[in-house]
């Protein structure tokens, strides 16, 4: 039973894979410009996009578990690596990282290792990265970022698992550590900050043979702390409770928090139903990806329940809703009602000052940021995603 509990907990951990300046009050919301290019070959789900040299992008399809190189100039996408366990091969890409010199690291969560691609995108040497430690029941969870030096940043969570009534009970903390990992050194993990984690209730895993079911309460409107890492190793942390941002320098020094202005949005009864319905739809879709990370012979279904209580207002920011651009600006995804049907992103400068607010077209999401551009995914009526490149005016 203990081994089963450990396997299930490890599988769960892999699937878990976030002073107001007076002048900021006048920053108006603008519509994001139309894309300069859209790739015709669709994705099942864009799990992230990282800009590389030559104006190309490496993107992950989170359902198909594949990586592709997208050339917007040519309008093409080309597979990068393949499924497997050798050099240039992966099972479940959970993070794409661009290092100095254009070496690419791909975090393969299923095999707990980093797959390396050389600057010419030929396979390099893989090396291990422990993402789930059974001895401590601790897991590195999304998001995964890096700096130019090859240090990896992640959330570190301790999972408490036990059994009761024949089912496995999982306790998730309401806070996690923001840690820096030296994957090829001996320094281990360095905790840099504590983060609020969105959790509601106590998840439960039931099992009948090799068929498992994961049940959880909807946590989407719990205020949490998104964060992101810039190429030089500077970290931005957004406190979701009051929408303040502070920065951690590469040497660990923290700046004073800066408040970002926002207008609270009430949560109505109609919002509660709409948010839960959409979360269930997304969970079913993401469950397809989680299934591919399960141990061989296992299957898992997912069920989402209403939370015990709903907040009066939406939190100001979305979980995992932060992206660090190469120009030093921070993109922050706002928490907006599903009924609005359009994402809104704030842009903060290197001091935390609000400089822009962008509203996206319907059924469109930002999946990556680059030098003066953002990469978006447009969803069509068949739920296929089309990767776009959008030039962003200053």
pLDDT for 231-281, tens place per residue? 999 999 999 999 999 999 998 999 999 999 999 999 999 999 999 999 999
Cα distances from 41 to residues 24, 55, 76, in angstroms, run: 40, 18, 8
Q: Can you give the pLDDT at residue 201?
A: 78
Neighbour tally for 261: CB within 10 Å: 15
Strand partners, 193: 178
Q: Which domain range does residue 191 map to? A: 2-391
Long-range contacts of 362-365 (CB under 8 A, 24+ apart): 364/388, 365/46
For the CA atoms of 252, 255, 258, 264, what is the dihedral angle to 10 degrees?
A: 20
CATH number, domain containing residue 13: 2.120.10.30
Residue 219's pLDDT band, with cuts at 50, 70 and 90, is very high
Structural contact between residues 161 and 203, judged by C-beta atoms closer than 8 angstroms: no
3 state SS of 57: strand
pLDDT for 11-64, tens place per residue? 544 444 333 333 345 799 999 999 999 999 999 999 999 999 988 999 999 999
pTM of this prediction? 0.89
3 state SS of 56: strand
Which secondary-structure segment (H or E) carries 328?
Answer: none
- SS3 percent helix, strand, coil of the chain, rounded to 5, is 10, 45, 45
Q: For the chain, what is the domain count?
A: 1
């Amino acid at each position: 039973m203990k081994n089963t509990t450990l396997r299930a907990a490890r599988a769960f951990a892999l699937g878990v894979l976030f002073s107001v300046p007076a002048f900021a009050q006048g920053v108006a919301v603008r519509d994001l410009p139309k894309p300069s290019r859209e790739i015709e070959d669709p994705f099942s789900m864009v799990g992230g996009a990282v800009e590389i040299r030559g104006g190309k992008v490496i993107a992950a399809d989170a359902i198909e578990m594949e990586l592709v190189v997208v050339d917007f100039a040519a309008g093409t996408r080309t597979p990068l690596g393949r499924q497997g366990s050798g050099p240039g091969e992966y099972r479940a890409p959970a993070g794409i990282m661009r290092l100095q010199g254009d070496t690419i690291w791909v975090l393969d969560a299923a095999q707990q290792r980093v797959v390396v691609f050389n600057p010419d995108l030929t396979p390099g040497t893989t090396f291990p990265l422990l993402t789930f430690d059974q001895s401590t029941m601790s897991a590195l969870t999304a998001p995964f970022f890096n700096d130019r030096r090859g240090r990896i940043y992640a959330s570190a969570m301790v999972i408490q698992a036990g059994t009761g009534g024949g089912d496995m009970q999982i306790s998730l903390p309401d806070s996690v550590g923001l840690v820096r990992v030296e994957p090829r050194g001996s320094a281990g993990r360095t905790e840099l900050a504590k983060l609020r984690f969105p959790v509601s209730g106590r998840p439960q895993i039931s099992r009948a043979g090799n068929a498992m079911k994961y049940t959880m309460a909807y946590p989407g409107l719990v205020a949490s702390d998104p964060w992101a890492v810039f190429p030089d190793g500077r970290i931005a942390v957004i406190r979701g409770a009051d929408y303040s941002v502070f920065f951690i320098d590469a040497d660990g020094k923290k700046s004073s928090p800066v408040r970002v202005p926002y207008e609270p949005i009430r949560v109505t009864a109609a919002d509660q139903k709409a948010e839960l319905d959409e979360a269930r739809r997304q969970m079913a879709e993401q469950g397809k990806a989680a299934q591919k990370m399960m141990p061989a012979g296992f299957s898992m279904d997912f069920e989402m329940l209403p939370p015990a209580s709903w907040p009066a207002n939406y939190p100001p920011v979305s979980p995992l809703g932060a992206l660090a651009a190469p120009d030093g600006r921070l993109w922050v995804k706002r928490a907006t009602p599903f009924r609005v049907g359009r994402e809104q992103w704030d842009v903060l400068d290197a001091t935390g000052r609000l400089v822009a607010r962008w509203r996206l077209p319907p059924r469109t999401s930002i999946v990556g940021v680059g030098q003066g551009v953002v990469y978006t995914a447009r969803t069509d009526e068949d739920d296929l995603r089309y990767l776009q490149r959008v030039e962003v005016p200053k």
